[in-house]
């Protein structure tokens, strides 16, 4: 117990001191977490570090599970699930072959393949926690892909526990794990929303509920002889982001994230060692797989599925980090003396380096995409306008609506009010069937592609309304060299000022519009102009619109 408390104290003291430096200089925090870990590693026993790493990973997996929208994945995530499985299979097979080429035995080659194949839910958690409820297409794709790879990670952990770590094969572990996950789903859909509704937002009780869920499921996993991460994963599934009753619980979960994220990053830094020749070779190969092969494979597959090049590349960039499940597998294998030490050190080093790279690409993805676009890379990967375009030859004086999913659908439904044609520009191929059924004029493609605007007959248009929540798309519309009026969606007042100064003719601020509508609806309700049922329905419609 003393060793654990000493390790935690040292970790948080060092992290706090270094984070003050990072905050004062406006620097990213991950390098400072890793630096704190390197210093702490000189004073903390490795056994304590491995235990802390497992708990940190377990809680990060739990946090990701809480924020994942399973209903949205079930209705819209089929492509992401299929793509995730294909990408992990291809890269995992290549990694396994490379491992054998390095002279590793079969088990260690499996560890190498897993490290090359799986990406991290850490990146996914960062965008699931975004303040805006509207997320671009690539983020929704990445959510389903990361969730799929987390499920694959759970399967890998179970398989290794049943066939590698156990003296005799223990197939019953799969049945027990399936039962635990089924219990989580049952709690989610049959109990959780009833429980949170009864608690009526009591923050203290909600906090205890959240902690009890994760500790309880982890205890069940331990009792069944499973890895604690399986219990954490089931606990995350059990807790539904059940608006509005679960707001306090989600806030509590976010506080847990603030506690366990530093533990994870600092323990990774503490486990770093000076690499030898063998470790260096493994590390380079893993980084090539994670930073180059994974994003390219995913982008190529998404391009073949019909997504435009920008969406494919941005989704691929979310895979440039080694999975927390990979690190968990390595930690458990080291404890069981089933992994070669140079390979373990390579996985830790590759994890740290990929974290640093991911902290850059997550902030500068747009710049990376623009650089690739200038070299013609986007057109080589993704499709654009063509077979999925239908524009009348005499079309003119029309309104171009960018992004059908985030408000364009509602404008199309009300097109009779505008007394002019509406043309939809969309980059999500999964929506094209619906668009073809409900729209007379449409263009499939990326707004950064000049051919899309030519196909949309921009110079003959009356206005452009850009509803995409993605800043790069908004900037592309604002920067169009045209005299056609452009209205763009913004999420903050600062963004509104910026885009107006850059040439936008107007901005659409969903929060402000929603606030104005509340007053209009309330006035109509009090004046008996609308019924209570109609008022409720309009509120639901508004929630669906702003939350898309």
Kindly state whether residues 329 and 424 are assigned to the same domain.
no
| Phi and psi, residue 203, nearest 5° | -65, -40
Kindly state whether residues 350 and 491 are assigned to the same domain.
no
Kindly state whether residues 414 and 352 are assigned to the same domain.
no
Kindly state whether residues 373 and 479 are assigned to the same domain.
no
- CB-based contact 217:176 (threshold 8 Å): no
In a domain, 523, yes or no: no
Kindly state whether residues 173 and 301 are assigned to the same domain.
yes
Residues 6+ apart with CB under 8 A from 335: 50
Q: Is the pLDDT of residue 341 over 90?
A: yes
User: For residue range 199-228, what is the model confidence (pLDDT) as tens digits?
Assistant: 666 667 777 777 888 889 999 988 888 888
β-partners of residue 486 are: 464
Kindly state whether residues 277 and 409 are assigned to the same domain.
no
User: For residue range 446-477, what is the model confidence (pLDDT) as tens digits?
Assistant: 888 888 899 999 999 988 988 888 888 888 89
CA atoms within 13 A on the CB side of 185: 8
Kindly state whether residues 336 and 438 are assigned to the same domain.
no
pLDDT at res. 347: 95
What confidence category does residue 538 fall into, taking pLDDT thresholds of 50, 70 and 90?
A: low
The CATH number of residue 128's host domain is: 1.20.1530.20
In a domain, 534, yes or no: no
- CB-based contact 92:113 (threshold 8 Å): yes
In a domain, 385, yes or no: no
Q: Where are the alpha helices (DSSP H) in 118-227?
A: 121-128, 137-160, 172-186, 193-199, 203-223
Sign of CA dihedral 538, 540, 545, 546: positive
Residue 42, preceding peptide bond in cis (omega within 30° of 0): no
- CB-based contact 312:298 (threshold 8 Å): yes
The CATH number of residue 429's host domain is: 3.40.50.720
Q: How far apart are CA 39 and CA 34, in angstroms?
A: 9
Burial of 54 (0-12, 13-18, 19+ CB in 10 A): buried
Kindly state whether residues 417 and 347 are assigned to the same domain.
no
Nearest one of 307, 233, 182, 189 to 63, comparing CA atoms:
233
Kindly state whether residues 410 and 376 are assigned to the same domain.
no
Q: Where are the alpha helices (DSSP H) in 224-340?
A: 228-238, 247-270, 277-288, 294-304, 309-317, 324-335
Structural domain total, the chain: 2
In a domain, 517, yes or no: no
Nearest one of 254, 182, 247, 173 to 217, comparing CA atoms:
182
In a domain, 538, yes or no: no
The pTM of the full predicted model, rounded to 2 decimals, is 0.78
In a domain, 243, yes or no: yes
In a domain, 365, yes or no: yes
**For residues 161, 318, 340 and 59, what is the CA-based torsion angle, rounded to 10 degrees?**
-50
Q: Which domain holds residue 474?
A: 399-508
Q: Is the pLDDT of residue 253 over 70?
A: no
Nearest one of 321, 313, 312 to 291, comparing CA atoms:
321
Kindly state whether residues 344 and 489 are assigned to the same domain.
no
Name the strand (E) or helix (H) holding 488: strand 486-489
Percent of the chain that is helix, strand, coil (3-state, to 5)? 70, 5, 25
Kindly state whether residues 109 and 220 are assigned to the same domain.
yes
In a domain, 356, yes or no: yes
User: For residue range 272-294, what is the model confidence (pLDDT) as tens digits?
Assistant: 998 999 999 999 999 999 999 99
Q: Is the pLDDT of residue 355 over 90?
A: no
Burial of 473 (0-12, 13-18, 19+ CB in 10 A): buried
Which percentage of the chain shows pLDDT scores above 70? Answer: 82
- CB-based contact 175:186 (threshold 8 Å): no
Kindly state whether residues 416 and 484 are assigned to the same domain.
yes
Burial of 33 (0-12, 13-18, 19+ CB in 10 A): buried
């Amino acid at each position: 117990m003393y060793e654990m408390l000493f390790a935690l104290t040292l970790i948080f003291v060092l992290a706090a001191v270094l984070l003050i430096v990072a905050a004062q200089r406006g620097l990213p925090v991950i390098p400072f977490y890793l630096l704190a870990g390197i210093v702490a590693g000189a004073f903390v026993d490795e056994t304590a570090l491995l235990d802390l790493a497992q708990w940190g990973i377990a809680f990060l997996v739990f946090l990701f599970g809480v924020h994942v929208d399973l209903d949205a994945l079930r209705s819209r995530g089929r492509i992401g699930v299929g793509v995730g499985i294909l990408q992990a299979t291809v890269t995992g097979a290549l990694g396994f072959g490379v491992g054998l080429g390095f002279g590793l035995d079969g088990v260690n080659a499996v560890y190498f393949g897993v490290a090359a194949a799986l990406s991290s839910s850490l990146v996914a958690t960062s965008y699931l926690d975004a303040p805006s409820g509207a997320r671009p297409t690539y983020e929704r794709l990445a959510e389903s892909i990361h969730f799929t790879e987390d499920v694959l990670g759970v399967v890998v952990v179970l398989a290794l526990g049943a066939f590698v770590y156990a003296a005799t094969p223990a197939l019953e572990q799969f049945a027990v794990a399936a039962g635990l996950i089924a219990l989580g789903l049952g709690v989610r859909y049959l109990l959780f929303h009833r429980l949170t509704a009864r608690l009526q937002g009591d923050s203290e009780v909600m906090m205890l509920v959240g902690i009890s869920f994760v500790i309880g499921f982890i205890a069940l996993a331990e009792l069944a002889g499973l890895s604690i991460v399986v219990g954490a994963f089931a606990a995350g599934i059990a807790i539904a982001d059940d608006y509005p009753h679960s707001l306090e619980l989600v806030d509590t979960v976010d506080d847990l994230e603030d506690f366990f994220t530093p533990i994870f990053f600092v323990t990774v830094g503490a486990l770093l060692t000076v690499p030898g020749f063998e470790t260096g070779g493994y590390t380079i190969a893993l980084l090539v797989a994670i930073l180059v092969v994974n994003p390219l494979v995913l982008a190529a597959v998404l391009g073949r599925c019909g997504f435009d090049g920008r969406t494919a590349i941005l989704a691929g960039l979310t895979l440039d980090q080694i999975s927390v499940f990979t690190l968990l597998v390595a930690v458990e294998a080291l404890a069981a003396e089933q992994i070669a030490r140079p390979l373990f050190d390579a996985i830790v080093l590759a994890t740290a380096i990929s974290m640093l790279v991911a902290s850059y690409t997550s902030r500068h993805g747009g710049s990376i995409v623009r650089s690739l676009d200038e070299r013609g890379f986007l057109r080589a990967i993704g499709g654009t306008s063509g077979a999925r375009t239908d524009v009348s030859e005499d079309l003119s004086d029309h309104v171009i609506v960018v992004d059908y999913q985030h408000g364009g659908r509602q404008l199309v439904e009300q097109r009779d009010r505008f007394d002019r044609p509406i043309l939809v520009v969309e980059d999500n191929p999964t929506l094209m069937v619906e668009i073809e059924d409900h729209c007379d004029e449409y263009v499939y493609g990326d707004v950064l592609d000049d051919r899309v605007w030519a196909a949309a007959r921009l110079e003959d248009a009356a206005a452009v309304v850009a509803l995409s929540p993605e800043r790069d798309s908004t900037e592309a519309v604002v920067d169009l060299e045209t005299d056609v009026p452009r209205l763009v969606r913004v999420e903050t007042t600062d963004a509104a000022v910026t885009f107006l100064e850059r040439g936008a003719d107007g901005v659409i601020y969903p929060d402000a519009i929603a606030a104005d509508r509340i007053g209009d609806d309330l006035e109509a309700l009090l004046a008996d102009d609308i019924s209570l049922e109609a008022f409720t329905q309009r509120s639901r419609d508004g929630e669906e619109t702003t939350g898309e």
